Amino acid sequence: MKLKTKTQKNNYLNSPVENISGAEAVVRCLIAEGIDIIYGYPGGAIMPVYDEFYKYHKEIYHVLTRHEQGATHAAQGYARISGKVGVAIATSGPGATNLITGIADAQIDSTPMVCITGQVPSHLLGSDAFQETDIVGISTPVTKWNHQITRSEEIPEVMAKAFYIARSGRPGPVLIDITKDAQFESFDFTYKKCDGVRSYNPVPDIQYDQLQLAAELINSAKKPLIVWGQGVILGNAEIEFKNLVEKTGIPAAWTIMGVSAIDTAHPLNVGMVGMHGNYAPNILTNECDVLIAIGMRFDDRVTGKLAEYATQAKIIHFEIDPAEINKNVKADVPVLGDSKQSLNKILPLLNKNKHSLWLNKFKNLAKVEFDKVIKDDLYPTKVGLTMGEVIKEINNQSKGNAAIVSDVGQHQMIACRYAEFTKSRGNITSGGLGTMGFALPAAIGAKMASPEREVVAVIGDGGYQMTIQELGTIFQTKAAVKIVVLNNDFLGMVRQWQQLFFDKRYASTEMTNPDFVTIAKGYHIEAKRITKREDLADAVKEMMTSDEAYFLEVCVEKEANVFPMIPSGASVSEIRLE
């Protein structure tokens, strides 16, 4: 089955007025917005729209996921790798509420997504009718915008506004709830894309005086450090960012959402900051004299103890969302605006520079981390397989060109630490919400958005079972996703905390797992399980060279821990190597 459809010649933009149903209008609006793949699950309150999908199946490919949460994560994966708006659709009641986890995930990770839900007829609203739920009220805290449609003629304007809000400025999820009678009603349809909303300013104007102040600080700095986040990727500012880093010679570290904006092998890329980030950038955060934050929000996993975070440094914060300025860390020079525009405008103001002595400190501390941690992760001498050597073997096979979709837990930290990327939008993970079960459906969406790119889902045995039913979606769509389950028979990250901070009281973290290979084969997915190091390279090669979906279970050490680690509530300077 094909994964993408051809763009329809008539996209219904500025087309002649036609009298059609609200349900057909929804589908035509999607086509007008360039949507060719959507993810969802049908039900009574959204059935009129699904009837139109049947008619328009050549224009829009609907992917039947096995759970509505899977639909949102698939839409997220689609959006994250493509930069386009992902779309998920569900019925009322439990169908709608099952979307909430994915919506919340998209909100905190700034993923553009439009969710469409059916609703009971308008005359039944508030009557506790069958499968009625106030999804607008429920979703308000976790959406960028939401709206309930009760009249068919509202549909074009609201849908256009939904896509504009979802993709503009700092992206995010939007939910549109449509009553069943509005789907049946006919009206005179025409469609016009939205290009602005009163009182909504998605991209603040750049203040040139702030750029000058930032440039002066950067030019005079002796020990500057850049920390960049996903804002560089969302702003399509990878080229501008690389130009800035190379012109200034400043060491640059990334948040978990920012990795892949520049090549992981770049000589000025000094690694990941945060709880399980690299030793050097964490330690030297509290030694730099100027900290340049670009498209990141100073999440608690990055800063550790706020009272002791970079207190010696002047803070420059490049950010598109005014709400993030001074929210966690006070900025000495806030630079509001789109990252691509801001970096392009500041570049001529910056002096060409090198910070060789300062960069050497990063290299020296990186060697300490290699000797204490990385060597054992990637080149182990112990009998049991490590998660790190699995990621290293994937790197060997992919040459850094694959997109790695990781779930949440120890394997996520290992994947983000060790995966190599040569292309942007290569790291897809649940950052802010930490949603177990994210990776499998997100990988489906990513593969459908970029069928030419290898997509590898790296998942723990716990998170895998939260959305394992999406193997059915892979089987039905033939999406060639590569699935790697790193199985340690534990909820590994929780177990690590229990070991370190709860005297090894492993309460409810040991897993009794099923035969994952047999389950995969039940969905007609080629599968293999390995337990020995000597089998790893051939197994990964077989998986990566397969033209179809492939499942690989790797049994790794049960009680291995992820280091470095900043204990909860500790300073970044208190990062532990063991």
Residues carrying an active site annotation: 68, 130-131, 180, 493
How many whole angstroms separate alpha carbon 55 and alpha carbon 481?
A: 29
Structure tokens at 70: 């899977």
Phi, psi of 332 (to 5 degrees): -75, -35
For 284-323, the DSSP string reads HHTT-SEEEEES----HHHHBSGGGSSTTSEEEEEES-GG
Q: At which residue do the structure tokens 């730099």 appear?
A: 288
Cα atoms found within 13 Å of the Cα of residue 555, Cβ hemisphere only: 14
Q: Are the CB atoms for 457 and 484 separated by under 8 Å?
A: yes
- Helices 208-220 and 339-346 pack at an angle, to 10 degrees, of 60
Q: How many CB atoms lie within 10 A of CB 463?
A: 24
- Residues composing the chain: 578
Q: At which residue do the structure tokens 């998920």 appear?
A: 88
- Helices 410-418 and 387-398 pack at an angle, to 10 degrees, of 40
CA angle 148, 149, 155 (to 5 degrees): 130
Structure tokens at 559: 């009680």
Q: Are the CB atoms for 434 and 409 separated by under 8 Å?
A: no
Structure tokens at 446: 């990513």
Structure tokens at 407: 């779930």
Phi, psi of 568 (to 5 degrees): -55, 130
Question: 477 in the Ramachandran plot: left (φ > 0), alpha (ψ -120 to 50) or beta?
Answer: alpha
Q: Residue 282 belongs to what H/E stretch?
A: helix 279-285
- Positive or negative CA dihedral for 319, 323, 328, 333? positive
- What letter represents residue 86's amino acid? G
Q: Residue 147 belongs to what H/E stretch?
A: strand 145-149
CA distances, 430 to each of 44, 76, 302, 406, 436 (Å)? 31, 10, 15, 8, 8
From the list 383, 292, 392, the residue with the least C-alpha distance to 333 is 292
CA distances, 377 to each of 17, 389, 460, 560 (Å)? 63, 6, 17, 10
Q: Residue 149 belongs to what H/E stretch?
A: strand 145-149
Q: Residue 343 belongs to what H/E stretch?
A: helix 339-346
How many whole angstroms separate alpha carbon 419 and alpha carbon 538?
A: 19
